[in-house]
């Protein structure tokens, strides 16, 4: 790997984070409605809270833009790092594999820990879904089906369900052999004549899961601390 390749990787990492950090709900909420979404409903500066706070007519386009951040990030990574410049003599492409795994996670972290919002942000599910839409729409369909089934029919808590389902998506990510024709993320290991696994696709989803779980646990800790503070204030 050359110094130019390393520079490209560094720029792609920074670009993925900054793309994820574009605060569409905050910017458009102020521009169109004159409201700060961080003071509405869940106070979460994300696409789903935009739908709750601003209604479908404004909230859905904002949610789509959040979704699009994940799609644009992985499209640029997939296409740029698939160029012949990054392909080694033996046909391998470390830079492409590395950035396909790391880039989407950085985009999620940019959304969740937004540099323009004092490192506050949303939950990252819109970016997660936007990435899956490009990488493998079938996995996105599985995610949405499980989420709707568990929340709508099983009446489970949506936040708990979201966490469970994003983790479960690693399984089809590793095993699902139906790779869209527009994607260059096609590395697979043949285990037997019947079974093959797709580590890059699985690790890509796993890296986003880690970024999502970091935010979830962060929120749990903050909520716990706030609760303890309220208890102390009550006792005083």
Which pLDDT value is given to residue 220?
Answer: 81
How far apart, in whole angstroms, are the C-alpha atoms of residue 129 and residue 66? 9
Residue labelled with tokens 């490009």: 134
3 state SS of 20: helix
Q: What is the pLDDT of residues 75-113, one digit of tens each?
A: 999 999 999 999 998 888 999 999 999 999 999 999 999
Q: Which domain range does residue 156 map to?
A: 3-235
| 3-class DSSP state of 30 | helix
pLDDT of residue 109: 97
Average pLDDT over the chain, rounded to an integer: 87
Q: What is the pLDDT of residue 230?
A: 45
Residue 152 has pLDDT above 50, yes or no: yes
Percent pLDDT > 70 in the chain is 89
Interval 12-64: pLDDT, tens: 999 999 999 999 999 999 999 999 999 988 888 988 899 999 999 999 999 99
The predicted model scores a pTM of 0.89
Q: What per-residue confidence (pLDDT) applies to 234?
A: 35
Tell me if residue 177 falls in helix, strand or coil.
coil
Residue 98: per-residue pLDDT: 95
At 188 the three-state DSSP class reads: coil
How many domains are there within the chain? Answer: 1
Structure tokens at 24: 């569409």
Structure-model confidence comparison of residues 234 and 210, the more confident one? 210
Distance (Å, whole) CA 73 – CA 104: 7
């Amino acid at each position: 790997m050359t110094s130019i390749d390393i520079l490209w990787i560094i720029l792609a990492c920074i670009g993925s984070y900054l793309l994820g950090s574009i605060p569409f709900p905050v910017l458009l909420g102020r521009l169109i409605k004159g409201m700060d979404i961080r003071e509405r409903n869940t106070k979460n500066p994300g696409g789903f809270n935009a739908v709750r706070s601003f209604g479908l007519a404004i909230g859905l386009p904002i949610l789509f833009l959040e979704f699009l951040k994940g799609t644009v990030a992985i499209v640029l990574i997939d296409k740029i790092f698939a160029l012949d410049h990054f392909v080694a003599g033996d046909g391998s492409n470390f830079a492409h594999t590395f950035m396909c795994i790391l880039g989407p996670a950085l985009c999620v972290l940019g959304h969740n820990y937004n540099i323009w919002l004092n490192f506050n942000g949303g939950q990252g599910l819109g970016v997660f879904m936007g990435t899956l839409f490009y990488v493998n729409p079938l996995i996105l369909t599985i995610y949405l089906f499980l989420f709707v089934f568990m929340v709508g029919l099983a009446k489970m808590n949506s936040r708990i369900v979201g966490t469970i389902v994003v983790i479960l998506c690693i399984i089809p990510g590793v095993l699902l052999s139906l790779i869209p024709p527009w994607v260059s993320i096609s590395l697979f290991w043949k285990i037997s004549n019947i079974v093959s696994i797709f580590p890059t696709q699985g690790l890509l989803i796993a890296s986003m899961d880690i970024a999502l779980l970091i935010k979830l646990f962060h929120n749990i800790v903050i909520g716990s601390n706030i609760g303890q503070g309220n208890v102390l204030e009550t006792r005083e």
